[in-house]
Structure 1
């Protein structure tokens, strides 16, 4: 995965380099342009100017070219290029100008919109009503937005025909996230969804989906969520292929029954477990992960104790049984278990006895290898057991 990521980054880097070569390494500053740069830019063809427009963020292009002269203004206004908008720290007056000169006249060309600062109520009133007209919008990212605006935004998004990517990160807590989840699952074209919406208090789980389902294929939830809530959420996403949970919490009831939800396409799972018993985790795997090929698990505990149920995650035989029974397609097993306090010799001996069992023939045959480290910290010793990935 990391190799693919590096290859992708190299391709993007080469693509950007080629664009820079086309303009003879001319640098366009967004704040100001000296006369020397203006002279050089005036000599460039319209086609090459459009290459620059495509390379730069639309907001920066507007700042750099719109008031330069009439030629550049006309080029900016009459291009058919799709617009990617990225607005972070901006004053109200500049935002009003941007809405007037860029967003409103070219709203049918905007395919990506990223807002990454807390907006005032006045700014929201300017932008939100326009969202229903973003008919070519494919990706929307909202960073550090106030929770009170999220539901209203989602109401506007429901009419967008090709919105396939949505990222929402709230800056404060929300009272009832279930309404947010419902509205997200009703976005008809959505494929990628990343959300982080902290709750003021634990809410009830969604009702299980029966006839209305989401098209989401990649779901990332970075806020706290219980296994009970996850059960309900997964019933809405039968097309799910990749799942990532930032903080999965324990169940509030006895989870023994087999779930009827079938996630046929789910092949990649990444979860950080927070006081979830291995028994509950086994039920989760048995219910949903039969097709999973990539499994990444993070477990964090405060105190190591052989009598504590968190040591169940260091039971090599338990893992072997679970993988053999419920994860027949597993290729990548990325595992990390951290203990905050492990200081006595008896604790270390018990810890090492458990992890040494991960050296059996089962793990060797799968080419899954492990290591551990001790770390001295201010008031205790920490221990980390983790997989060494040859892939």
Structure 2
């Protein structure tokens, strides 16, 4: 997002550093007034201008001079302004206003039009307008052309825009605008902008179209802003696929970033759009909910990137499909599987899959280091993660397992995460039986089945524990220590364990029992424990270190604090 900061000259910055050093070495600061002017400017940069006046205007002569200085630029955030307040802001401080963030109710919106907006607001760079009536908004936009430094404009209303074409024409006429975001509650009619053909064009470089529009409407909007570099669209859909050749008549020679939150156009059309606009694209983010399987054709994406997106540095694709939909059955799994080929691995683009109650979501995204990436070497061919945000009961487990098998027909899963839900140990067992390649397991919360004692001795449990290859386990919310011990018995090849206790725990008792358990059970691989509890401080670490040495629980080990965790690491004997 385009942001506005108070500008400083080279001399200002030099003086700022000098004053900081003087404050640090030449004097002791015993009063807030001893702070440098530049330091106050930095503090004021985080405050609402009205709050600055309330706090400092009548304090003393020093602060009165400070806030009256022409060098101090003010940011105002106003909710339902009264007439007197707005007069004060515009008349007294009009040459010092850097930004306005104004939220109006329908009752107060009429007040805003009765005050002068002219070139005397010569430092106003950012304007945020919230809840303006459409008629008031149009009237205001007509006045904004006189502002010599208006670089950023954000409009968010709960009104339905029927005059969207007129609003965009007024926005494009603003002579200095660089950033624009339009967020109406609804769009009441079509955008009837013609394709721009004249030489006069907008200066806009960043645009956020936070409303739905058709592809022809989108192309018409973009034709008016040839300087565009970054664009984000909330929802774009096909209106007249048969007329696509006449629709795409624009060139975007400067665009380096495109993001579509909900792309509902056919992939054939999307391909043609990328080919025609001829932009030096570096960043592309696409989310498709159109149920168009071609978006998951890795080879078509590969050809498109190699031939038409040679400058692409960052790419992400999200494809959402309904569970049980025929399109899931019709997926060409081989085409999807190609997302794990060398082309994508070399670019560190990773295939991820999420299963919710009603959807399977496929995503291709840049590699991001996760909790289980504890080594410097990362095998990008084994980074595929399955995230489950829904865990069914026993009655619906079979249908859920079919969804997992659908995923496994596409790709091997090496990392599994149960997110936001508690999983019962018996359900965990069933899921692990079909995921033999797992290297890491993350569980938000675990509930041990009521039949846990007979279940542990069951042959199925032994088979799963002996055959799974899980080496890293993270239990995010531990309620009872037995949950940790269950996972120790289940994951015999575990090397790394991370646990967060959400209740008070006897640290010494837990560590003593834990270390004795792994010794008695000959847990030969485990050598690293990250432990977090309600209280983690250096005193506890010293006490644990003394206890381990005194009771000879480990021979060679290190224990220290890493962020909010106690990290215990020991050598295998």
Give the alignment's TM-score, normalised by structure 2: 0.54
Does residue 338 of the first structure (1) align with residue 320 of the second (2)? yes
| Match of residue 425 from structure 2 | none
- Could you tell me whether the CA contact under 8 Å between 1:46 and 1:75 is conserved in 2? no
Does residue 148 of the first structure (1) align with residue 135 of the second (2)? yes
| Match of residue 251 from structure 1 | 239
Specify every segment of 5 or more residues in structure 2 that has no aligned partner in the other structure, as ranges: 2-15, 25-29, 369-573
Does residue 58 of the first structure (1) align with residue 46 of the second (2)? no
| Match of residue 296 from structure 2 | 314
Change (3 A) 1:382 1:289: farther
- Could you tell me whether the CA contact under 8 Å between 2:99 and 2:126 is conserved in 1? yes
Change (3 A) 1:51 1:215: closer
Tell me the CA shift for residue 204 of structure 1. Answer: 4.0
| Match of residue 275 from structure 2 | 286
| Match of residue 165 from structure 1 | 152
SS at match of 1:318: helix
Tell me the CA shift for residue 207 of structure 1. Answer: 0.8
For residues 388 and 52 of structure 1, the distance between their equivalents in structure 2, rounded to whole angstroms, comes to 38
- Could you tell me whether the CA contact under 8 Å between 1:342 and 1:348 is conserved in 2? no
For residues 184 and 165 of structure 1, the distance between their equivalents in structure 2, rounded to whole angstroms, comes to 11
Among 212, 215, 224, the alignment partner of 1:224 is 212
Tell me the CA shift for residue 278 of structure 1. Answer: 1.0
Does residue 106 of the first structure (1) align with residue 77 of the second (2)? no
For residues 384 and 371 of structure 1, the distance between their equivalents in structure 2, rounded to whole angstroms, comes to 8
Aligned pairs for 1:12-91 (under 5 A) are 44=34, 47=37, 52-68=43-59, 72-73=63-64, 75-88=66-79, 90=80
Among 174, 189, 193, the alignment partner of 1:187 is 174
Specify every segment of 5 or more residues in structure 1 that has no aligned partner in the other structure, as ranges: 2-14, 24-38, 305-309
The count of aligned residue pairs is 341
Tell me the CA shift for residue 276 of structure 1. Answer: 1.1
Q: Which moved more, 1:264-273 or 1:196-205?
A: 196-205
Change (3 A) 1:351 1:131: farther
Does residue 237 of the first structure (1) align with residue 225 of the second (2)? yes
Tell me the CA shift for residue 51 of structure 1. Answer: 5.8
Tell me the CA shift for residue 166 of structure 1. Answer: 1.1
Among 325, 330, 355, the alignment partner of 1:374 is 355
Does residue 360 of the first structure (1) align with residue 351 of the second (2)? no
Change (3 A) 1:223 1:44: same
For residues 62 and 332 of structure 2, the distance between their equivalents in structure 1, rounded to whole angstroms, comes to 71
SS at match of 1:151: helix
Does residue 329 of the first structure (1) align with residue 306 of the second (2)? no
- Could you tell me whether the CA contact under 8 Å between 2:231 and 2:258 is conserved in 1? yes
| Match of residue 362 from structure 2 | 385
Aligned-CA RMSD value: 3.1
| Match of residue 189 from structure 2 | 202
Q: Which has the higher contact order (CA 8 A, sep 6+)?
A: 1
- Could you tell me whether the CA contact under 8 Å between 1:191 and 1:217 is conserved in 2? yes
- Could you tell me whether the CA contact under 8 Å between 1:220 and 1:244 is conserved in 2? yes
Among 260, 264, 270, the alignment partner of 2:253 is 264
Change (3 A) 1:98 1:258: closer
| Match of residue 178 from structure 1 | 165
SS at match of 1:262: coil
For residues 311 and 362 of structure 1, the distance between their equivalents in structure 2, rounded to whole angstroms, comes to 20
Tell me the CA shift for residue 234 of structure 1. Answer: 1.3
Among 282, 287, 299, the alignment partner of 2:288 is 299
SS at match of 1:158: helix
Tell me the CA shift for residue 268 of structure 1. Answer: 0.9
Change (3 A) 1:126 1:80: farther
Tell me the CA shift for residue 122 of structure 1. Answer: 4.0
Q: Which moved more, 1:72-81 or 1:135-144?
A: 72-81
Between structure 1 and structure 2, the one with the greater Rg is 2
- Could you tell me whether the CA contact under 8 Å between 2:299 and 2:335 is conserved in 1? no
Tell me the CA shift for residue 337 of structure 1. Answer: 0.8
Change (3 A) 1:271 1:166: same
Give the alignment's TM-score, normalised by structure 1: 0.77
Tell me the CA shift for residue 49 of structure 1. Answer: 5.7
Q: Which moved more, 1:235-244 or 1:73-82?
A: 73-82
Structure 1 residues 298-322: Cα deviation after superposition (integer angstroms, max 9, x where no partner): 1124xx6xxxxx1111122222232
